[in-house]
Structure 1
Amino acid sequence: MSEAQERAWSELAPHYILTVERDAAATSVRPGDTVDPVAVWGRSAPLVVEIGSGQGHAIVHAAASAPERDFLAIEVFKAGLARTMLDADKAGARNLRLVEANAPEVLQHLLPTASVDELWVFFPDPWHKKKHTKRRLVTPEFARTAAGALRDGGTLRLATDWEDYALQMRDVLSAADDWEPAFEGEWADRFEGRVLTAFERKGARAGRSIRDLTYRRRART
């Protein structure tokens, strides 16, 4: 990391980074280690969570633009988290928190059941080689885990520039009992709250179409 990024970890992390009890791996979350969002953010407000926040461009912009909401960025790369903290501090986004951890474990263990209002999965690793597609995030198991974290009526937003992954996402969520589409036709409209990031620009330059999907968490029975 750069000197500025190292400084972010020493000076800004106490405010922005959530302390997590680990399990076996460095980015794991110990089962039973659950946070209280009201205690973390100091208020009760709608919570938006982004999985794979990268350098934080989307979530910092969103947090600065919507101070009435709380935001959580999930990322496993320390340099990206450091960049996010630097930009959040510059933007005055004090309603943002970050966690260095595996996303499914954050949803399953760290966040209380039905505590999330919106969950974002923008441009996740496509693992585009056929032998690697099994490593993709959006699977039937992920759909169940995400449904546990979201409140009834909560929103799941996804975007990717890989057509076969977009089709996989749509197939997975369409087959999941906990979710219903919040769009008409083949694909959702582009989410206006998603700023244009380097990942999206790279996909567009390569001639790949950007596809959005939006789903609503069905009411629990």
Structure 2
Amino acid sequence: MIDTSSSNPPIPPAVPEGAPGDPSHHRTIRSFVRRTGRTTLGQAKAFADVGPKFLLSYSGQAMDYAAVYQRSAPTILEIGFGMGEATAHIAALMPEKNFLCCEVHTPGVGALLKRIDEQALGNIRILQHDAVEVIDNMLPLASLDGAHIFFPDPWHKKKHNKRRLIQAPLIAKLAARLKPGGYLHCATDWQPYAEQILEVLSAEALLQNTADTANGGYAPKPDYRPLTKFENRGIKLGHGVWDVVFTRV
């Protein structure tokens, strides 16, 4: 599963596999929206130096976590890690767990690879591919110990709400791939999206809320999730942040 075929830096495709421009892409729900951005020299160097070890190739075949990570350990899926700040923080806090991280934004992948190198993190692997296809085709049922979706695109306009990632079909797929007792942790700083997330997760029969009704069904921020610079800035401006944590029954 780990691409060690070349010592040269992986050259990210102009259009990632599964992205809207790829003729093989026919999915109505995606885990991403295409964004532009320039890869820095440091990120490019990280692609060259550590990419061959920590970047996985999309295969469409069921993943053997023990083979990928060279150990047996709880595995956590993260969908859309941005620039990887929270991912690296959590992985450093939990070296006993494996983190499988999906992101299509090339500068973000490069930034996380750079953090992996700088912090000597050995428990992260990255798939630069649409997470929906990864879930469908590579993640066995009842195989994950947890899943993180932090600050997905809220698609603020009502007419665009249908583009939001967290909808019933995706949550059903994720719930089926969680082990009994495994958890799904979502966080957003957009209250209407928080309400939708809570509604969608509450409607999934395989999931149970960890929070009580005293806080409207929202969970206290788990200690492992750090406050990012973006989040701190929002809090100073009076913006709220909502965490939703459910477990697989």
SS at match of 2:122: coil
Per-residue deviation at 1:171? 0.6
Greater mean deviation of Cα atoms: 198-207 or 186-195: 198-207
The yes-or-no answer on 1:12 pairing with 2:43 is no
The secondary structure found in structure 1 opposite 2:154 is coil
Contact preservation (8 Å) 1:154, 1:217: yes
C-alpha distance after superposition, 1:152-193 (max 9, x if no partner): 111001111100000000111111111110111211111111
Question: Do structure 1's residue 129 and structure 2's residue 157 form an aligned pair?
Answer: yes
Aligned to 1:192: 223
Task: Name 2:16's counterpart in structure 1.
Answer: none
**Other-structure match for 1:27:** none
Secondary structure, counterpart of 2:243 in structure 1: strand
The question of whether the paired residues in 1 share the 8 Å contact of 2:93 and 2:224 is answered with no
Q: Aligned pair 1:50/2:88, yes or no?
A: no
Kindly indicate whether residue 206 of structure 2 is the aligned counterpart of residue 168 of structure 1: no
Letter in 2 for 1:155: Y
TM-score (norm: length of structure 1): 0.90
Quote how far apart the aligned CAs of 1:202 are: 4.2
Deviations 1:198-220 (A, max 9, x none): 332343244321111110111xx
The whole-number CA distance in structure 1 between the counterparts of 2:220 and 2:157 is 28
* Cα displacement string for residues 10-52 of structure 1 (whole angstroms, at most 9, x for unaligned residues): 221111111113xxxxxxxx4xx22210100011100111111
Number of equivalenced pairs:
208
Paired-residue identity, %: 38
Report runs of 4+ in structure 1 exceeding 6 Å deviation: none
Amino acid at match of 2:55: I
Equivalent residue for 1:34? Answer: 62
Q: Which amino acid aligns with 1:116?
A: L
| Secondary structure of residue in 1 paired with 2:56 | coil
Farther-moved stretch of structure 1 (202-211 vs 148-157): 202-211
Match of 1:103 in 2: 131
Per the alignment, residue 97 of structure 2 pairs with 69
Give deviations 1:46-77, integer Å, cap 9, x for gaps.
Answer: 01111111111111111112111111111110
Counterpart contact for 1:108–1:148, Cα < 8 Å = no
Whether the 8 Å contact between 2:46 and 2:117 is mirrored in structure 1 is: no
User: Is structure 2 residue 197 aligned with structure 1 residue 159?
Assistant: no
Q: Is the contact between residue 119 and residue 155 of structure 1 (CA under 8 Å) also seen in structure 2?
A: yes
RMSD: 1.2
2:92–2:121 contact (8 Å) kept in structure 1: yes
